[in-house]
């Protein structure tokens, strides 16, 4: 374990602190370079024909008219791919997914054929010339009936498959939990759905593939959060030599998990390039993105909570039905088919807990973990934070008081929860107290009392979340067998300028700034002197990518560790320069100097030049300062926070106005506080979106009812209050500089706060729970005791 | 990226030129105004016109003027122009109320009054507002001009009285003393189409009684966007709250909302009543000088 150095709050120019993002000037000037900006000589354009049906047998596909189109270069179908053994590809959960449908289509929007043409217009025109004869089949739409006797079998491609079952998984101690429940004074049960939502990044997914037939080198510009993992997968799937594949992930316009997996369109662009011998660009449109790429959530949960009459929570039991869609494409560590859901014990000191999760196939788009969820911790936090409120409702207890009574105490850390996670550090009561002070909690309750007397509906919702981010450790965590450790390389040029090469890729998180600040902090050089190179497998070391808030906990740690290696090498060189023994030197934030003689010191730039000169170095020291490392995290980090949301509800229309939102986050040491706050702002907006307006429902025929931004709503500034942010800082004891990761905290923590606030507002009407999204219609129906099922079409 | 099918393009320089172009292309041509409804439909290939006739260069279609006891609004007037017009606000606050909740500033900067009415989306807000005001549309064809009350303008979803070879050129709104108006809408998010919306205009006699009332409803399946039974109920009645609540109930009874992801039919019917009452309250308060 490394100790945390005491550091003054920096100005950012030489390390940690608040500075503007290095990447912003090019984005503000419209000079970003996204996949769709890539233009190559002779480049062709691809378009995908998609299934209009949720479930249908393909009787025949006639592509002759499309092939006859004068500007069409190739039409590829499942049958073409079968001849290349590429009709199916592995998913991130060891299932397979059709690249192009061969036997059946299994969800609306599934890929059926791929046209390559001279331009986008011709490619799209040609789609209309393809004649597919479908024989419609009954779809499995309602996940709750997927396991019914006689339900249509979605995956009859899997030999011997006679039902829609994917997996059963459990965590925790069933017997101990049952015992706690038997003894408890109070047991409360609530059914809740965390509906299917979509990451909806501003930039949709796309790929430009260029196969150079002469060199055999395949270059792929792709919207990917995990370029190295993609390269290995292409090598394994297509049988191409891995060193001949280069994945470039240029500027990425938002990922949120949407760009972790490999989509059929990516593979088709590659095949298109191989078939035509030309570069092929494929960029999906908005509806394609919303209909066919990785969704998130879709967890039907039954929570049970056991407590004493005076509000000591004893145990939690959860039963989950997980809708994984037509192919199990969930991106998560292999050991954990339900991700890290079993951290649903949350921030509380429980005696026992147990969960069972059953995954099922349905005729919906595949995917699973996407959308800033830290591997299903969003579902877990929502579950526990709703259950605590449901318990408060039944005990007629104040929701803050109930939480305070049960929060882990600082002295309990490191704390092993009832399902086995080891929480690293925290002072939960201090964080909740700060949020309550910022909110003026007691005054808000007074105001609410007065309003209730007048028949007005005002609600105060609290969510206290604990996150578990930064996967590995690699011993426990891998994706398709690739362990979740990250490399880093740091090169120091003779003049002392630095180039840091990382495997993770930024999609808006500001890596080019944050990681430069880490090197600057560790090496005492200007942040401006550090160039961060990422998003190109030919230029960066291997690592598993950016998702699950893992970049700072894993690659951030790698950046610090590789810089420390450089610093250690610099010490040897400085000793030679100063003609002293290295043990006589001390580090002075940017210089190695002789202990007790501060004038006698060398800067990193001086040392770097010397390291490249003909200065005589001790035996075995080769010169230069460059270093590489691989960081394998010893544990996850556990950021946490206390959120308070205040809403007003119009009882006659069901409209919800989020009046205030107080967010106190503890993500350990903050590298660039401004970027941290930006991450929180974005996540809170996402939380408002999920809680109040987002959801992808399906009608009885399996039609996707969230396939455009008219139907799938993203929140605007008008739905978001002016966020009130606070912070506490509890460094992670095992991270090199105590950081914990912040990318998903707000998305994970905020939906429960909003829903709890709305339910608190509706409490005088006897409402205990209604499912998201809490649209005006849903709130009005909940107030009448007739809430809607939000995963199905409203009838 | 969604891309439209091939289409031709002509830019009309005058109303007559536009009509000639329309006549030449027959019903395969479409007029394009702001394009904020038509272009999305073309990109989704729900519309594949052979030719677009761009009317954005026709100045005579633009502008807001008072002529006698009528306010004249050119079909090419942008939402943003309607919203920023002081004379509109002075006479018809319902139009400003409505414009504030139509789409977003980007759409309002380009979308037009004529395009909105001709698109005839069942959830369209301006139709409900104009119907409440008793406005009339002026339609020009090769044979000349004709006027159609907006209450007879909409023939059904996406269908209007404007024939394929005609243009809507103007909307005329009668200016009558002693009245005011208001618009209310429930949406799932700013810029979203209405879950339900109601516009109301009332004219009060010297005793404060309602001499006339106009009600427009959007997104709830009200025939011609109107609620004639509720209007009839209000005429001659004191504008007390009980009457306004009752009028809302009548409006709710006579519409025919359909369930969709914005809400179930019972909720939309409830909203039709609640929003009608709210719009009426506001219109009465404004007409009697109690509210701006
Ligand atoms: C994101 C978004 C949100 C929106 N939200 C709302 C909302 O909340 N409420 C609402 O009411 N509307 C809303 N709209 C619709 C918007 O108000 C209309 O799209 C727009 O104003 C239509 O006008 P336009 O000038 O763009 O019409 P265009 O798209 O140019 O034309 C629409 C139709 O009208 C025809 N047309 C246009 N002008 C004439 C004319 N003078 N004579 C004959 N035919 C004509 C065209 O041929 C076409 O068929 C929204 C639109 C968008 C894109």
pLDDT tens-place string over residues B101-139: 999 999 999 999 999 999 999 999 999 999 999 999 999
Q: Average pLDDT of chain A?
A: 96
- Cross-strand pairs, A726: A664
Alpha-carbon span B289 to A667, nearest angstrom: 55
Measuring CA to CA, which residue among A265, A329, A270, A267 is closest to residue A96?
A329
Q: Which atom of ligand 1 is least distant from the CA of B36?
A: 26
pLDDT band (50, 70, 90) for residue B44: very high
Name the band, by pLDDT with cuts 50, 70 and 90, for residue A698.
very high
Taking only Cα atoms into account, the Rg of chain B, rounded to an integer number of angstroms, comes to: 19
CA distance to partner chain B, nearest, from residue A175 (Å)? 43
The CA–CA distances, whole Å, from A340 to A335, A550, A555 equal 10, 14, 20
- Residue B170 CA to its chain's centroid (Å): 12
Kindly report, residue by residue over A465-509, the tens digit of the pLDDT: 999 999 989 999 998 889 999 999 999 999 999 999 999 999 999
Mean pLDDT over A717-723 rounds to 96
Work out the pLDDT band at A371, boundaries 50, 70, 90: confident
Interchain pair B264, A777: CB under 8 A: yes
Q: How many residues does chain B have?
A: 292
Has residue B52 got a pLDDT over 90? yes
Instruction: Point out the ligand 1 atom lying closest to the alpha carbon of residue B116.
Output: 22
Per-residue burial over A480-505, b if 16 or more Cβ lie within 10 Å, else e, is eebbbbbbbbbbbbeebbbbbbbbbb
Contacts of B190 in chain A (CB under 8 A): 716, 718-719
Segment B6-11 mean pLDDT: 97
Residue nearest to atom 1 of ligand 1 (CA): B103
* Interface residue A82 vs chain B (CB under 8 A): no
Centre a 10 Å sphere on the Cβ of residue A183 and count the other Cβ atoms it contains.
12
What pLDDT, on the 0 to 100 scale, is given for residue A7? 45
For chains A and B, what is the number of CB pairs under 8 angstroms? 73
Give CA separation, A358 vs A141, A361, A669, A790, in Å: 16, 10, 38, 20
Mean pLDDT of A397-403: 98
Calculate what percentage of chain A has a pLDDT beyond 90.
94
Residues from chain A that touch B259, judged by Cβ atoms under 8 A, are 794-795
Residue of B nearest to A706 (CA): B261
Strands B8-11 and A724-727, by their bridges, are: unpaired
Asked if A711 is an interface residue toward chain B (Cβ–Cβ < 8 A), one would say: yes
* Shortest CA gap B41–chain A (Å): 12
Contact A432, A348 (CB under 8 A): no
Other CB atoms closer than 10 Å to residue B257's CB: what's the count? 25
- A692 contacts in chain B (CB < 8 Å): 188-189
| Tens-place pLDDT, residues A605-662 | 999 999 999 999 988 889 999 999 999 999 999 999 999 999 999 999 999 999 999 9
Q: Which atom number of ligand 1 is nearest to the Cα of residue B193?
A: 8
pLDDT over threshold 80, residue A8: no
Mean confidence (pLDDT) of chain B? 97
> Helix, strand, or coil here: A107?
coil
Question: CB–CB of A776 and B186 under 8 A?
Answer: yes
- CB distance B263 to B292 below 8 Å: no
Whether B189 sits inside 8 A of A697 (CB atoms) is no
Residue with tokens 């019917």: B269
Q: Tell me, what DSSP letter sits at residue B31?
A: E
d(CA A410, CA A423): 11
In a 13 Å sphere around the CA of A735, the CA atoms on its Cβ side amount to: 34
Cα(B286)–Cα(B283) distance, integer angstroms = 5
**Distance between CA atoms of residues A82 and A490, nearest Å:** 44
The predicted structure's pLDDT at residue A1: 32
Q: How many residues does chain A have?
A: 795
User: Which of B104, B189, B264 is closest, CB to CB, to A794?
Assistant: B264
**DSSP SS3 for B123:** coil
| pLDDT exceeds 90 at position A80 | yes
Interatomic CA distance for residues A669 and A758, integer angstroms: 33
Report d(CA A102, CA A116) in Å as an integer.
19
Q: Which of B189, B219, B248 to mutate to test the interface with A (most CBs of A within 10 A)?
A: B189
Mutate to test the pocket of ligand 1, among B26, B111, B157 (most ligand atoms within 8 A of CB): B111
Chain A nearest CA to B261, separation (Å)? 6
pLDDT > 70? residue A58: yes
- Give the number of other Cβ atoms within 10 Å of residue A41's Cβ: 7
Q: Band the pLDDT of A3: cuts 50, 70, 90.
A: very low
Give the least confident one: A141-150, A162-171, A279-288, A325-334: A325-334
Nearest to A120 among B3, B264, B275 (CB): B3
Identify the residue among B119, B188, B191, B262 best suited for mutation to test binding to A, counting A beta carbons within 10 A and taking the highest: B188
Q: Which residues contact A525 (CB under 8 A, 6 or more apart)?
A: A14, A496, A498, A519, A590, A604, A605
Residue with tokens 């954005």: B56
Number of CB atoms found within 10 A of residue A163's CB: 16
Residues of chain B with Cβ-Cβ distance to A776 below 8 Å are 186, 188, 195, 263, 267
Cα(A708) to ligand 1 centroid in Å equals 18
Task: Tally DSSP H helices, then E strands, for chain B.
Answer: 11, 13
Nearest to A777 among B2, B6, B267 (CB): B267
Report, as an integer, the average pLDDT of A777-783.
98
Section B174-189 average pLDDT: 97
Q: How far is CA A620 from CA A297, A592, A617, A697, B199, in A?
A: 55, 21, 8, 65, 85
Q: What is the pLDDT of residue A492?
A: 98
B3 contacts on A by Cβ (under 8 Å): 120-121, 124
pTM recorded for the entire structure: 0.97
Tell me the two tokens of residue B10: 């002509």
Q: Which residues line ligand 1 (CB under 6 A)?
A: B 30-38, 75, 79, 102-103, 107, 111-112, 114-116, 118-119, 124-126, 162, 167-168, 191, 193
| Residue A704: pLDDT over 50 | yes
Q: Are A139 and A702 in contact (CB under 8 A)?
A: yes
């Amino acid at each position: 374990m490394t100790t945390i150095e005491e550091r003054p709050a920096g100005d950012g120019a030489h390390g940690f602190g608040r500075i503007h993002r290095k990447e912003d000037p090019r984005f503000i000037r419209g000079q970003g370079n996204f996949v769709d900006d890539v233009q190559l000589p002779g480049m062709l354009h691809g378009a995908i024909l998609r299934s209009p049906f949720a479930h249908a047998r393909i009787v025949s596909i006639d592509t002759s008219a499309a092939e006859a189109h004068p500007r069409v270069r190739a039409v590829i179908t499942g049958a073409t791919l079968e001849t290349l053994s590429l009709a199916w590809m592995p998913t991130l959960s060891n299932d397979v997914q059709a690249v192009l449908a061969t036997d059946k289509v299994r969800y609306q929007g599934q890929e059926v054929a791929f046209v390559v043409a001279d331009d986008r217009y011709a490619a799209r025109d040609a789609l209309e010339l393809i004649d597919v004869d479908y024989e419609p089949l009954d779809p499995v739409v309602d996940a709750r009936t997927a396991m019914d006797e006689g339900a249509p079998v979605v995956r009859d491609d899997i030999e011997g498959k006679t039902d829609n079952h994917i997996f059963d998984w459990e965590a925790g101690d069933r017997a101990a939990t049952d015992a706690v429940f038997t003894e408890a004074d109070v047991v409360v049960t609530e059914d809740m759905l965390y509906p299917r939502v979509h990451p909806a990044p501003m930039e949709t997914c796309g790929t430009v593939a260029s196969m150079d037939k002469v060199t055999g080198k395949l270059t792929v510009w792709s919207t990917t959060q995990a370029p190295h993992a993609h390269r290995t997968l292409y090598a394994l799937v297509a049988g191409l030599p891995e060193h001949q594949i280069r994945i470039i992930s240029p500027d990425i316009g938002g990922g949120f998990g949407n760009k972790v997996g490999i989509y059929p369109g990516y593979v088709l662009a590659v095949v298109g390039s191989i078939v035509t011998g030309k570069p092929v660009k494929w960029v999906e449109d908005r509806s394609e993105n919303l209909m066919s790429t990785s969704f998130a959530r879709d967890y039907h949960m039954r929570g049970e909570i056991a407590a004493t009459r005076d509000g000591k929570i004893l145990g939690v039991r959860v039963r989950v039905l997980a809708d994984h869609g037509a192919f199990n494409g969930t991106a998560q560590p292999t050991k954990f088919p339900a991700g890290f859901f079993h951290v649903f014990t949350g921030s509380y000191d429980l005696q026992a807990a147990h969960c069972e999760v059953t995954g099922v196939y349905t005729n919906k788009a595949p995917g699973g973990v996407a959308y800033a969820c830290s591997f299903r911790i969003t579902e877990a936090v929502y579950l526990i934070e709703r259950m605590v409120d449901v318990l408060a409702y039944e005990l007629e207890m104040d929701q803050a008081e109930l939480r305070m009574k049960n929060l882990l105490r600082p002295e309990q850390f490191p704390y092993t929860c009832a399902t086995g996670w080891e929480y690293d550090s925290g002072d939960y009561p201090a964080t909740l107290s700060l949020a309550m002070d910022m909110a003026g909690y007691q005054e808000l309750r007074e105001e609410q009392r007065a309003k209730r007397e007048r028949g007005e509906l005002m609600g105060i919702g609290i969510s206290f979340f604990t996150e578990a981010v930064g996967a590995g450790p690699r011993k426990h965590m891998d994706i398709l067998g690739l362990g979740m450790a990250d490399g880093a390389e740091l090169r120091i040029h003779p003049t002392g300028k630095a180039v840091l090469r990382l495997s993770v890729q930024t999609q808006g998180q500001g890596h080019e700034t944050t990681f430069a600040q880490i090197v600057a902090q560790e090496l005492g050089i200007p942040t401006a002197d550090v160039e961060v190179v990422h998003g190109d497998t030919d230029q960066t070391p291997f690592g598993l990518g950016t998702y699950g808030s893992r970049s700072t906990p894993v690659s951030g740690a790698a950046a610090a560790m590789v810089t420390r290696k450089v610093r250690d090498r610099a010490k040897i060189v400085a000793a030679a320069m100063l003609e002293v023994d290295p043990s006589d030197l001390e580090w002075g934030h940017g210089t190695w100097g002789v202990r007790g003689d501060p004038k006698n010191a060398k800067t990193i730039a001086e040392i770097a030049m010397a390291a490249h000169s003909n200065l005589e170095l001790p035996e075995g020291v080769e010169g230069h300062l460059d270093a590489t490392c691989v960081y394998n995290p010893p544990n996850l980090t556990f950021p946490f926070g206390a959120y308070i949301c205040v809403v007003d509800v119009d009882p006659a229309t069901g409209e919800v106005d989020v009046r205030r939102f107080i967010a106190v986050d503890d993500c350990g040491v903050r590298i660039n506080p401004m970027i941290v706050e930006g991450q929180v702002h974005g996540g809170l907006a996402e939380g408002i979106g999920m809680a109040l307006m987002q959801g992808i429902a399906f009608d009885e025929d399996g039609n996707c009812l969230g396939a455009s931004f008219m139907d799938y709503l993203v929140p605007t500034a008008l739905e978001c209050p002016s966020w009130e942010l606070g912070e506490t800082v509890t460094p992670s004891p095992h991270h090199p500089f105590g950081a914990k990761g912040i990318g998903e905290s707000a998305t994970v923590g905020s939906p429960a706060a909003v829903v709890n606030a709305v339910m608190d507002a509706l409490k005088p009407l006897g409402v205990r729970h209604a499912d998201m999204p809490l649209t005006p219609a849903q709130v009005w129906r909940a107030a009448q005791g007739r809430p809607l099922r939000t995963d199905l079409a409203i009838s | 990226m969604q891309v439209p099918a091939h289409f031709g393009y002509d830019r009309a320089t005058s109303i007559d030129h536009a009509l000639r172009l329309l006549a030449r292309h027959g019903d395969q041509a479409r007029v394009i105004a702001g394009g904020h409804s038509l272009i999305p439909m073309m990109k989704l290939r729900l519309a594949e016109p052979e030719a677009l006739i761009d009317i954005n260069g026709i100045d005579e279609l633009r502008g807001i003027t008072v002529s006698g006891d009528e306010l004249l609004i050119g079909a090419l007037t942008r939402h943003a122009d309607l919203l920023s017009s002081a004379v509109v606000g002075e006479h018809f606050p319902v139009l400003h109320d409505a414009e504030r909740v139509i789409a977003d500033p980007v759409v309002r900067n380009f979308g037009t009054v004529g395009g909105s009415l001709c698109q005839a989306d069942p959830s369209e807000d301006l139709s409900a507002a104009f119907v409440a005001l008793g406005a009339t549309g002026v339609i020009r064809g090769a044979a000349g001009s004709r006027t159609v009350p907006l209450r007879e303008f909409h023939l059904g979803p996406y269908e209007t009285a404007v024939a394929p070879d005609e243009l809507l050129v103007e909307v005329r709104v009668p200016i009558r003393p002693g009245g005011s108006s208001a618009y209310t809408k429930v949406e799932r998010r700013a810029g979203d189409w209405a879950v339900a919306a109601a516009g109301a205009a009332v004219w009060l006699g010297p005793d404060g009684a309602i001499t006339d009332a106009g009600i427009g409803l959007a997104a709830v399946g009200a025939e011609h966007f109107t609620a004639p039974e509720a209007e009839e109920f209000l005429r001659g009645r004191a504008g007390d709250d009980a009457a306004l609540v009752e009028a809302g109930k009548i409006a709710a009874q006579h519409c025919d909302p359909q369930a969709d992801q914005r809400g179930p039919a019972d909720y939309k019917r409830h909203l039709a009543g609640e929003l009608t009452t709210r719009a009426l309250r506001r219109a009465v308060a404004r007409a009697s000088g109690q509210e701006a």
